[in-house]
């Protein structure tokens, strides 16, 4: 079935459980109420017209202040359509608890364990979330949350520079606490390296002048500072 037919089909059967549907970029997503998720998934599996016999995956998404979302991807090998079910997990960021799909599809077992390991979302009805499936058993923190910072990027931006503004009047380093998503990204390091190269080579072609903005430095591919986070990253054509 194509997306419009699926939309209508689902609305006829579980219309009150659906908050919204969206068909964008060839991906059909249905947002459902969290307490109706198991019912909708069971319908998708057992209904003749939907026939979603394959459990593709289930994972979490950090939606910032709104909390977390869990997305479940189901596929039908007979009808050749894919449905993404999305729920906003109740409990916000402090105590997220989502319904478990292990009673509907066995494959949800490890997927939900991984979501718990990465986000800290508890699954109600899951046979056993602990021990942590992917990280070390005694790992602290929930890695994929936006407020989990990558320590290596914080501690040592390439190659370990510290700007004068980051020292207070006694010469001690001021600890900055960046916001979510504030860890240096790929071109932040480009800029930092470009600034460092310019400072080290005054009067050369690298010194682009005081009007050189962050955006220009990021957009300019011809600076000498080459970003080499991954050894095999190719050059843009």
Q: Which residues bind another protein (CB under 8 A)?
A: 24-27, 29, 53-57, 59, 61-62, 71, 73, 77, 80, 82, 84, 105-107, 109-110, 118, 132-136, 139, 141, 143-144, 148, 150-153, 181, 183-187, 218-219, 221, 229-234, 236-237
Q: Which is nearer to another protein, 125 or 143 (CB)?
A: 143
Compute the least distance from the CB of residue 127 to another protein, in Å: 12
Sheet holding 82-88, edge to edge: 18-24, 27-32, 82-88, 68-75, 54-62
CA 109 to chain centre: 20
Q: Which is nearer to another protein, 92 or 185 (CB)?
A: 185
Q: Which is nearer to another protein, 33 or 132 (CB)?
A: 132
For every residue of 139-167, DSSP letters joined together read --S-TTSTT---HHHHH--TTT---GGGB
User: From the CB of residue 149, how many other CB atoms can be counted at a distance below 10 Å?
Assistant: 17
Beta bridge partners of residue 21, listed in sequence order: 30
Compute the least distance from the CB of residue 169 to another protein, in Å: 32
Compute the least distance from the CB of residue 94 to another protein, in Å: 21
Compute the least distance from the CB of residue 110 to another protein, in Å: 5
Write 55-61 long-range contacts (CB < 8 A, 24+).
55/101, 55/105, 55/106, 55/107, 55/108, 56/82, 57/111, 58/101, 58/108, 58/111, 58/112, 58/115, 59/111, 59/114, 59/115, 60/89, 60/115, 60/118, 60/119, 60/121, 60/144
Q: Which is nearer to another protein, 62 or 88 (CB)?
A: 62
Q: Which is nearer to another protein, 172 or 230 (CB)?
A: 230
Compute the least distance from the CB of residue 101 to another protein, in Å: 10
Q: Which is nearer to another protein, 161 or 167 (CB)?
A: 161
Compute the least distance from the CB of residue 67 to another protein, in Å: 14
């Amino acid at each position: 079935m194509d997306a419009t037919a699926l939309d209508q089909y689902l609305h006829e059967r579980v219309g009150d459980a659906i908050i919204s549907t969206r068909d964008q970029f060839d991906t059909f997503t249905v947002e459902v109420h969290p307490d109706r998720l198991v019912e909708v998934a069971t319908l998708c599996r057992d209904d003749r017209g939907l026939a979603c016999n394959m459990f593709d995956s289930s994972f979490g998404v950090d939606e910032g202040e709104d909390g977390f979302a869990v997305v479940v991807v189901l596929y039908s090998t007979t009808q050749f359509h894919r449905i993404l079910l999305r729920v906003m997990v109740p409990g916000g960021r402090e105590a997220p608890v989502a319904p478990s799909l292990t009673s509907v599809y066995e494959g949800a077992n490890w997927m939900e364990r991984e979501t718990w390991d990465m986000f800290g979302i508890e699954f109600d009805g899951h046979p056993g979330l602990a021990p942590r499936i992917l990280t070390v058993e005694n790992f602290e923190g929930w890695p994929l949350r936006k407020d989990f910072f990558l320590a290596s990027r914080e501690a040592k931006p390439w190659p370990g520079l510290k700007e004068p503004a980051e020292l207070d009047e006694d010469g001690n380093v001021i600890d900055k606490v960046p916001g979510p998503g504030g860890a240096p990204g790929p071109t932040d390091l480009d800029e930092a390296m470009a600034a460092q190269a310019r400072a080290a080579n005054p009067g050369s072609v690298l010194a682009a002048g005081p009007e050189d903005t962050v955006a220009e430095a990021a957009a300019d591919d011809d600076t000498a500072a080459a970003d080499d986070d991954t050894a095999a990253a190719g050059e843009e054509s």
